Amino acid sequence: MNLFQRSPSVLWVVLLVVGLSLVLWPVAESLPQTWPVETGVAVFIVLSATVLRTYAVSLTTANLQNSTRSAWELFVASQRHIPTVVVILLAVLGAAGGAILIGSILSWGVVVTVPFVTEQIYDGASATLIFGSLSALVVFKFWLAPEICIAGNYGPVAALKLSWSVTSLYWVRVLVVIVGFALTVYLPELGGRAIVAAGGDWLLWPPLTGLVQLLFYSVGYVVWFAVGTQIYLRSVLDQ
């Protein structure tokens, strides 16, 4: 939370992203849910998170380095990393998909060659144990690549390589960040279900709950992006 105290400008960026989301979301819901509309919504979500990520990383790096650059200078400079970060995210998505493809080929070979492994066992185990584990491993190893790209001013390939090594050295800290990020994503949904189960669904006024969820997501993302940046910069100091 020290980031918000030292650099309150990040809250303005959060409010900007939340405001745009509140304006555009009803428009998207009123349109026919065709693939162009759904793709546009997905692109907006990814770009919004990327804007927050690049600025949070830049601010965290500047604060730790005692930089005297203004908030506007940092924001403009941080947004120049968006294309590279998008390339990294696409590369990670492709790597996760490739891991799943390789895992499916190898695991299907087990079904064919091992007599007691039936197709029913394969179908039940593959999604969670094989495919989920492989994709999770890829995401874990490359989780810090965007932070490394922004804070260290690296290209996609170098950032991915460094993320692989840093996550090996600081795997517990990175795991905490990923778990915290996942909780940030799912806690509002779980909280809403708990309120409904307790009979308090009258409290869930959609405009208000939508605003609270967006603020919770945005602030939570900024926190975990900042923590990931600190892990990388700490690894640099420890070398």
pLDDT of 191 higher than 90: no
**How large is the angle between the packed helices 35-64 and 145-152, nearest 10 degrees?**
50
Q: What is the pLDDT of residue 203?
A: 66
Q: Are residues 221 and 182 in contact, defined by beta-carbon separation less than 8 angstroms?
A: no
- CA-nearest of 80, 78, 65 to 9 is 78
**Residue in this structure with the two tokens 């170098």, named with its chain if needed:** 158
pTM: 0.83
Q: What is the DSSP letter of 8?
A: T
**What would the pLDDT profile of 114-148 be if each residue is shown by its tens digit?**
454 444 444 444 545 555 677 888 899 999 999 99
The confidence score (pLDDT) of residue 227 equals 94
Alpha carbons within 13 angstroms on the beta-carbon side of residue 178 total 16
- Give the total residue count for the chain: 239
pLDDT, tens only, 211-225: 888 899 999 999 999
Most trustworthy range by pLDDT among 54-58, 68-72, 95-99, 127-131? 54-58
Domain residue spans of the chain: 82-164
Q: Are 163 and 137 contacting, i.e. CB atoms less than 8 angstroms apart?
A: no
Residue closest to 174 by CA, chosen among 126, 136, 207 = 136
- Residues 225 and 78: their CA atoms lie apart, in Å, by 13
